[in-house]
Amino acid sequence: MSIQVSKMKTLLFVSTVFPPMINPLANRVYKLLVQFQKSWQILALTRVENAYLNEESSVHFVKHWYPQKLIDLMSKLKLEKILRLLIWPDQDIFWVLPALIKGYQLIQQQKPDAIFVFMMPYSASFIGIGLKWLTGLPLVFSLDDSITCTDMHPESQSLLHYHLKQWLEKFYVRQADALVYVSQFNLEQVKKRQPLSQQSKFHLIRCGADPLDFSTPLPPSIDKKPFEIVYIGGMNGWYDFYYRLEKQSVLKKLYKAWIRLGIYEQVKIDHRSSSPVFVAKAIQQVIAQNPNWEKEIQLVIHGNPVPKHIVQTVLENQKQTDVVSVFGSVSHHQALQLARSGDLLLITLPNRPDGSSGGRISCKTYEYLMTDRPILAAVPKGENWDYLKDKPGVWLVEPTDTEAMSRVISEVVSAHFSNSPLRFDRTALQQELSYVNLAEDYLKILDQVCLNNTKEIQAKQLATS
């Protein structure tokens, strides 16, 4: 065993998220690193204080240098606008220097073979680039979302910040030895803006799921429960409905205008559809057409982080408290079991009113596809729509199209109450979605960049000899 370990390469893994955080990205970090450990020793750097992977890994916590008192003072003085203009590209810029110092110390002590930076946040790119400059180690970036993805970043604080985003993207493309994207759309958009010499660095490895998480038997179903449309995770559209209900004074309106001053908007995103409101309206339409289904259909949301008073205010204002139930945070394992037992699974994303395509794809897409349950995907045209359009048991609708939603719900509910619930065999997708296979793709990239780096060093040695 000692001989095998001595031959294993060591990977310096840099990530602001890390287990045991309850977070889809932290779960992805865990699943990938466990697979990486089959052929790499893991040396990790994170700002998660209680970070832990397993006994075989070496995880190091680095505290950020975030000026909390100064930020709090400026916030009290209503100077958030100044903070937004100055803190770039994100708040984790205050983690870069301490992480860079600790990372360099670890490299000197542990002699890793490669650096792997898990992004977002985009500030982490500076850590990877700095360590590469200091040590010459090959560098791989894994991006969950592109910094220029207009689904995730539809606007910039100013025109200058927009150009800074463009510059940063080109900068880390030039500095990295390989870049991994989870979205084909985003990858192609970024890749085509780069010179031919940089385009071979781009790789597509999607998010995935672990088949073992779906292998345990489900508890017996309760026949008398209502038909449940299940959504797992947070929604950011609540606030659009809530703040419209607030009465705003002249001073508040002026302050809001000040905050928005100079914002450079690339595309208009309608966040309202990232909420239960439109699906709940569709449920109410179905019940109106089928009165015997009253109280028999529920939209159930698990993992909601939005304050209860906002949730309650929105649901009461929309008159949807009878068809929507909202629950708080759950563990990742529990979330998957709730999805497996749902009668219809829901994905809903913010809409793009101009009809343009976007690059965002929900992580829950892959986990839902590991189940046999019907899926209602209320997503805009783009990456998520394109990926799902040929998948079995998936109904695609526009994010605010309540008529289309009601037709899908009616069809699935009818089958359910006829004792013929719709189920779909997706076993053919499980290998494609498995973290085992996704990790193998990452490992091939790591092996290749290490090989390329070795060849470059040898070539320089020959040139100077």
Say if residue 42 is in the same domain as residue 190.
yes
Say if residue 149 is in the same domain as residue 253.
no
- Among 233, 148, 204, CA closest to 445: 204
Question: Is 0.85 surpassed by the pTM of this model?
Answer: yes
Say if residue 152 is in the same domain as residue 246.
no
| Six token digits for residue 415 | 């089958």
- Among 453, 435, 457, CA closest to 445: 453
Residue 237 dihedral angles phi and psi, to the nearest 5°: -85, -10
- Among 123, 89, 145, CA closest to 360: 145
**pLDDT value for 1:** 38
Domain that holds residue 49: 2-208+435-464
**pLDDT value for 3:** 39
Element (H, E) at 63: none
Say if residue 141 is in the same domain as residue 224.
no
Q: What's the first-to-final CA gap in the chain, in angstroms?
A: 38
Say if residue 216 is in the same domain as residue 204.
no
**Full DSSP string of 86-106:** HS-S-TTHHHHHHHHHHHHHH
**pLDDT value for 221:** 65
Say if residue 405 is in the same domain as residue 440.
no
**pLDDT value for 106:** 98
Sequence letter at residue 300: V
Say if residue 279 is in the same domain as residue 418.
yes
| Six token digits for residue 156 | 């910039």
Q: Which CATH number fits the domain that encloses residue 354?
A: 3.40.50.2000
pLDDT tens digit string along 328-342? 988 888 889 999 999
Say if residue 115 is in the same domain as residue 160.
yes
**pLDDT value for 167:** 97
SS3 track for 188-203: HHHHCCCCHHHHHHEE
Say if residue 224 is in the same domain as residue 187.
no
Q: Report CA-CA distances (Å) from 93 to 21, 123, 208, 342, 364.
A: 21, 5, 29, 41, 29
Say if residue 417 is in the same domain as residue 440.
no
- Among 316, 306, 308, CA closest to 274: 306
- Among 149, 176, 168, 212, CA closest to 356: 149
The answer to whether residues 230 and 335 touch, using CB atoms and an 8 Å cutoff, is no
Say if residue 296 is in the same domain as residue 413.
yes
Q: Report CA-CA distances (Å) from 182 to 41, 100, 179, 208, 285.
A: 24, 26, 10, 10, 36
Structural domains of the chain, count: 2
Say if residue 402 is in the same domain as residue 451.
no
Segments in 80-213 forming alpha helices (H): 80-86, 93-110, 124-135, 159-175, 184-191
Sequence letter at residue 201: K
Low-confidence ranges of the chain (pLDDT < 50): 1-6
